[in-house]
A = this chain, B = another copy of it.
């Protein structure tokens, strides 16, 4: 179990800060903590995500889930389902359908992948057995 007093923090690139606020705060329900000319900091499900402003690349490869993505693994199924409901109600762009991975194995989990406006991929998971969260 992680320490509720610490936070994970992750820095990611975005191409437009207003667009990032609209996606992370307006859609995904994160909280805006600080705003600088070149970055915003977010309370992302209780951890810190910092969006750094970078140049939009001339030509980007299509995004892929591997090897880079981030997200939250919920202990409670209800939290995963609430996020599904939020995604539907607010029309948040999904990267492929919600699926079950490692079905029939101990590591079985539901997974939902979202795509932010800068093509960062966010994976949210719920495991049948919480000991498999690591």
Contact = CB atoms under 8 A, between A and B. Distances in A.
A128 interface: yes
A29 B132 contact: yes
Interface string A38-68: 0001110111100010100000000001111
A94 interface: no
Interface residues of A, number: 62
Contacts of A133: 7, 48
A44 B119 CA distance: 25
A3 B129 CA distance: 15
Interface of A: 1-14, 25-26, 29, 31-35, 41-43, 45-48, 52, 54, 65-76, 79, 82, 85-86, 89-90, 104-107, 123, 125, 128-134
When A and B form their complex, which 3 residue pairs have the shortest distance between CB atoms, in order from nearest? Answer: A2-B46, A13-B67, A33-B134
